[in-house]
Amino acid sequence: MEVLLAGKWGAIDRFTWQLTDAHVACKQLGFPGAELALRGATFILNPPFSGRTLDVQWVENVRCLGNESLLIECPLDLVFTSGPVLEAGAVCTSDETGKVFP
């Protein structure tokens, strides 16, 4: 899960990512909610526009209740890292029963 906050791209820490956090992320993307919160996703943040992975914004300790509309409304911490990071992810549900979107 990559996010744009204050004009900088960043990634969400996979270690504290929970289903309530994924639910808010999916709602923000226009889906009704989340089916799964992926902790240990193998996506590696490497913004193509920067040509480097130094000083990447890293969103940690996201603590959504699940009723928020946007991730930025959830308590969270911003830190910076100097290398590739493993990100959180979500499998979002669609309006149709039984269909999910990674």
Mean pLDDT of the residues in the chain? 79
Mean pLDDT throughout 66-95?
84
| pLDDT for res 52 | 47
**90 and 32 in contact (C-beta within 8 Å)?**
no
Q: Evaluate if residue 90 carries a pLDDT over 60.
A: yes
**DSSP 3-state assignment of 68?**
coil
pLDDT tens per residue, range 21-34: 999 999 999 999 99
Model pLDDT for residues 51-76, shown as the tens digit of each residue: 444 456 678 899 999 899 999 899 99
Give the chain's length: 102
Question: DSSP for 10-67?
Answer: EEEBSSS--HHHHHHHHHHTTSSEEEEEEEEEEEE---TTTSS-TTEEEEE-----S-
Give the lowest-confidence range in 47-56, 76-85, 91-100.
47-56
pLDDT at 18: 94
Q: How many CB atoms lie within 10 A of CB 4?
A: 9
Please state, in angstroms and rounded to a whole number, the distance separating the CA atoms of residues 45 and 68. 25
Distance CA 36, CA 18 (A): 9
